[in-house]
Chains A and B, each alone.
Chain A
Amino acid sequence: MASSSVTNAPSQAHVQFKDVQKSYDGKSLVVKNLNLDIQKGEFVTMLGPSGSGKTTTLMMLAGFETATHGEIFLKGTPINNTPPNKRGIGMVFQNYALFPHMTVNENLAFPLQVRGMDKATIEAKVVRALGMVSLSQFGARKPAQLSGGQQQRVAVARALVFEPDIVLMDEPLGALDKQLREQMQYEIKTLTKSLGVTVVYVTHDQAEALTMSDRIAVFNDGIIQQLSTPAELYEAPVNSFVAQFIGENNRLPGKVTKASNGVCHVALSDGSNVQALPINLAAGAAMTTLSIRPERVEVDPTSPEISNRVTGVVNDIIYLGDHLRARLTAGGSDNFVVKAPNRDGQRRLEKGQSVTLGWRTKDCRALDPL
């Protein structure tokens, strides 16, 4: 499990989905033509709303669902006909699935016992795994006697104790409160990185995905909408769904009037004209949705770089301490959100006020019309 030597050629991914489709009822596809390569040691998150096919994809990889079409490869070997117990994949379930009739130690020993290891080895490995998640004193307890966070750690330890080189996690933190969830996000990430295991993680919580992942696959409607690093996903969404799903986003519907040199001119519905990066425009498409992050919008812009300017009227303001969140009517949207930092020299916005808003062309992306 040493993370140092990656012997596989880069062309041979650790996990590979090739043209995978899945249908439950024979009428509709839950997963449509999935192609995904995951490298060894990578932390890949499948993110998407419920029903987007992410859990189905995970279950196909674990072996609990069979692909209707296509192949899944594990280290280059097709595993479609390999039963789950022969795949050597560790898995953490949504509600942990710790065996309630066994103690923590017995839970951890289970995967080692079914592999026919001898008693001494099992004991040593269990002790090590419990130490790994700092639960050494809890080995004799039953799962019901542990808190949610402790159960979560036991579940992680159990998925790792037999030293798989790939671990699947199906919304493992969903049942924890916010503070614990953030702590566990950090712990899981550190632990799996230090062990060098490949992690495929499923969540519908975008903040969790951004925090933990090397790469994120955004699922919607059975299709991977975008597969990229967290920063790229946030800053350069390729379509309206991704822009909307990851972080907060202002959507301005408009009409493309001119496109040239990697910049398009868009007429907004309130009559103002702005420039944007054409990202996802169908050929000859007249309608588009502009996407601008609220924190990239400036109030009373002064810099000459800020070439796009619109005027707006403040509808209401929410005071959030470190910043003010203002909702305006601007650029043809009555829900235009601006995050104004709370600092000296910044004009305090007031309800009913008329203000000038501006943004750089590179922060404004013309995506598919919604």
Chain B
Amino acid sequence: MTMVAEFAATAKAPAPTGPILAADGVPLDKKLAQVTRRARINAFLLVAPLLAFLLVFFVAPIFLMLRLSTGDTVVSTELPRTAAALRSWDQKALPDEPVYAALVADLKDARERQATGKIGAQINYVYSGARSLFVSAGRSAGSIDAPYKQALIDKDPLWGDPTLWVMIKTTSQTTSPINYLNAVDRTLGPTGAVAQVPEDQRIHVTIFIRTLWLSFIVTLLCMAFGYPVAYLLSHLPLRTSNLLMICVLLPFWTALLVRITAWIALLQNDGVVLSTAVALGIVDPANRPQLVYNLIGTLVAMVHVLMPSMILPLYSVMKTIPPTYVRAARSLGATSFTAFWRVYFPQTLPGIAAGGLLVFILSVGYYITPALLGGQSGVLISNFIELHVSKTLNWGLAAALAGLLLVAILILYWLFNKIVGIDRLKMG
């Protein structure tokens, strides 16, 4: 009887309106969080070492480097008075006497700290000739008298160039667009307006376009060549396909330099390819085409090097497509081509997308191959980044180029996600 009463009581109890409580009265969601906290802490501790490593050696350097692209503090700390005086300059005409006076005073101090070369070098990145200008002005700063403006211009007419002052002003600011402008072949004119650099100095846009275009071609070629191989790999009996898989993977495991050197040996003027072609009479011996140290060499080697990155995701997707789909299509009346095109091919799209994205992103950042095989016409944007990092030491510009590349890839990735959907992607 009591059991029945109890049952009736529970059955009649009003439906809970607030959060559901656990048996001990704690809200269920809190209880769940308590119970799973330990597991989450353990999981976090497991990844913590790698996370710390990545933060210190990967994320932080990237941020510091990218920070360089928006301006350096050299000019503003070494020329504090000039920087302050230029802040109110409207860039319509040459600065007035007080700015020149501030500059001379700053240069006197900088000369004592032996910093004029450093300042000059920094401004020289955006205004050629600035380095010697600053060094010699620093040397004679002690002996210059007012009016400073006239004295400096008399000493070197470049001091009367408004563009120089625009550059001094922009480099003395904490954030300046000048590196990004330079990265797309733009600069600041005498009045501070954005202008194209002289035609003979325009290079970055061309290289950017070439890099994206070449990556696109490499991706297409990898798809065209990789698809049949992946198809074969996934359809052959296991013994044969394993052997073939080793053939695909062997170059993947070989050092990049070795492979590139091999391509040089194959493609050079008296290399295997051209010698064979000449011997077969396909190529005129007196007029051998250039296959290496240009865009062709870069293209051939990149397609070869990146092929496994296309084949592996494709293979893994094809492996999961049972042969019954094509059989079903055939039994339903489709020709073998229709069965392939309408039933098999659409199911491999995630693999094509994954391989394509992988190859494209890898080839956009390709550096060693174009450096060794590219010659003049095969130089890519990474080579320019390297040039500015290790030769011209213009890290700001290098960072701006890298930043633009990163943005371009992120945009592509976003587009890809919109069109294909990143969740449909299947990597090896």
Which A residues fall within an 8 A CB radius of B? 62-64, 83-85, 87-91, 93-95, 97-101, 110-111, 114-115, 158-159, 162, 168
Contacts and interface: CB of A to CB of B under 8 A. Distances in A.
Contact of A101 (B330, B332, B333, B347): B347
B343 interface: yes
Given A85-B335, A110-B342, A97 B330 contact: no
Contact of A84 (B322, B330, B347): B330
B324 A101 contact: no
Contacts of B329: 99, 110
Contact of A89 (B324, B331, B342): B331
Contacts of B331: 62-63, 84-85, 87, 89-91, 159, 168
B327 A84 contact: yes
Given A99-B328, A99-B329, 17 more contacts: A62-B327, A63-B330, A64-B327, A85-B332, A88-B333, A93-B328, A94-B324, A97-B324, A97-B325, A97-B327, A99-B343, A101-B346, A110-B332, A111-B333, A111-B334, A158-B332, A159-B332
Given A93-B324, A93-B328, A99-B325, A110 B347 contact: no
Contacts of B327: 62, 64, 84, 91, 93, 97
Nearest to B328: A97
Nearest to A158: B332
A93 B328 CA distance: 7
B333 A162 contact: yes
A161 B271 CA distance: 61
Contacts, number: 68
A111 B339 CA distance: 11
A168 B324 CA distance: 14
A176 to B, nearest CB: 17
Q: Is the interface of B mostly helix, strand, loop or mixed?
A: helix
21 contacts: A63-B330, A83-B336, A84-B327, A84-B330, A85-B330, A85-B333, A85-B336, A89-B331, A91-B331, A93-B327, A93-B328, A95-B322, A97-B324, A97-B327, A98-B328, A99-B325, A101-B347, A110-B332, A110-B342, A159-B331, A162-B333
B77 interface: no
B324 A95 contact: yes
In the A-B complex, the 4 residue pairs with the closest CB atoms: A111-B332, A97-B328, A91-B331, A97-B324
B334 A110 contact: yes
Interface in B317-354: 322, 324-325, 327-336, 338-339, 342-343, 346-347
Contact of A83 (B325, B330, B338, B342): B330
Contacts of B346: 101
B333 A91 contact: no
A61 to B, nearest CB: 11
B126 to A, nearest CB: 54
**Chain A interface mostly helix, strand, loop or mixed?**
loop
Contact of A85 (B322, B334, B347): B334
Interface of B: 322, 324-325, 327-336, 338-339, 342-343, 346-347
Q: Specify which of A111, A114, A159 lies most central, judged by the most chain B CB atoms within 10 Å of its CB.
A: A114
A158 B339 CA distance: 15
Contact of B322 (A97, A101, A158): A97
Which of A63, A84, A91, A95 has the most C-beta atoms of chain B within 10 angstroms of its own C-beta?
Answer: A84
A251 B295 CA distance: 81
A91, A95, A97: most-surrounded residue (chain B CB, <10 A): A97
A43 B82 CA distance: 99
Nearest to B339: A85
B324 A114 contact: no
A101 B341 CA distance: 13
A101 B421 CA distance: 14
A98 to B, nearest CB: 8
A91 B324 CA distance: 11
Contacts of B338: 114
Contacts of A95: 322, 324
Nearest to A155: B328
Contacts of B347: 99-101
A89 B330 CA distance: 10
Given A97-B322, A99-B343, A100-B347, A114 B328 contact: no
B334 A91 contact: no
Contacts of B324: 93-95, 97
B239 to A, nearest CB: 14
Contacts of A100: 347
Which of A62, A94, A110 is packed against the most chain B CB atoms within 10 Å? A110
A159 B328 CA distance: 9
A199 to B, nearest CB: 14
Nearest to A88: B333
A242 B324 CA distance: 31
Contacts of B328: 91, 93, 97-99
Contacts of A90: 331-332
Nearest to B325: A97
B338 to A, nearest CB: 6
Nearest to A167: B331
A166 to B, nearest CB: 11
B260 to A, nearest CB: 40
A98 B331 CA distance: 12
Nearest to A90: B331
A158 B322 CA distance: 18
A145 B334 CA distance: 25
A168 B328 CA distance: 11
A158 to B, nearest CB: 7
B347 to A, nearest CB: 6
A292 B327 CA distance: 44
Contacts of A62: 327, 331
Contacts of B322: 95, 97
B414 to A, nearest CB: 24
A93 to B, nearest CB: 5
A73 B283 CA distance: 57
A99 B325 CA distance: 7
Nearest to B334: A114
A90 B335 CA distance: 15
A114 B333 CA distance: 6
B358 to A, nearest CB: 22
Contacts of B336: 83, 85
A159 B331 CA distance: 9
Contacts of A94: 324
A262 to B, nearest CB: 48
